[in-house]
Amino acid sequence: MDLGLKDRICLVTGSTAGIGLETARLLAAEGAQVVVNGRDPDRVEEARAEVGAALGVACDLAEPGAGEALVIEATEALGPVECLVNNVGEAYQASFEELTDEQWDAMWQLNVMSYVRCIRAALPAMKEAKAGTIVNVSSTAGKRPSTGMPNYSVTKAAVLSLSRLVADLYAKHGIRCNAVAPGPTATPAWLGEGGLADQQAAASIKTRVEVLEAVGAGRPLGRLAEPAEIASVIAFLCSERASYVTGSAWSADGGTVPIII
């Protein structure tokens, strides 16, 4: 199926691993001119080469001004960003009572404000073109908070609200904005050393393997998602095949959140 993405300039934040990397790979395979992004310059270059991206930009999107600079660099190199995928973010286990103000603020800057800044920077060119697509990666925790990840859950709920807000504000300019809410996915965030599986194991009597088995069994489909499965949903929402879809929050969670919207 032709997704209508050939030569489309697509910026994917947080795209050196996991869902972001698979999204960049899929968009590049569809013929898009993809911009990959991450904090580590070496990993950015590796991702750029691996997926055949047109450009790689290293920056810390938690920093004020970084999102705007990223969009400017992409625009100067390739042209106006036509498709923006906000994927960058972090997650970790924590107690609500033990979380500090600094931890709340740090996660807010990366998980929410980076999205705001990149959207804000991309909007003028999209408005001028009377076209543009934005996809924001949220989480099942944005629809049903995870008690073990309080600040993460709140930021991901904010991403859902932000997505609907942008959709409502800019539909008249031909700009679509949607959110994707993945469930637990087999990415470094879960599987990596010190990741969520290790954190849950350390806080319980379960082993790392037992944690992953239990998390998978907690989905109606009985397993974690693969990154490419989430990337496929994102690519569809970026595509011309979703030309009448905006303001939605697409669950890609194996049936985790038991609601019909």
Give me the residue spans of the domains in the chain: 9-183+225-252
Tens of pLDDT along 50-71? Answer: 999 999 999 999 999 999 999 9
Count CB-CB contacts under 10 A for residue 209: 10
CA distances to 128, 164, 233 from 17, rounded to whole Å, are 32, 27, 17
pLDDT of residue 237: 98
End-to-end Cα spacing for the chain: 27
pLDDT of residue 261: 60
**CATH superfamily assigned to domain 9-183+225-252:** NAD(P)-binding Rossmann-like Domain (3.40.50.720)
Average pLDDT over residues 215-242: 95
Residue 226: pLDDT over 80: yes
Average pLDDT over residues 209-238: 95
Residue 16: pLDDT over 70: yes
Average pLDDT, the chain: 96
pTM here is 0.95
Tens of pLDDT along 82-121? Answer: 999 999 999 999 999 999 999 999 999 999 999 999 999 9
Residue 146: pLDDT over 80: yes
Work out whether the CA dihedral 203, 209, 212, 213 comes out positive or negative. negative
Catalytic residues: 152
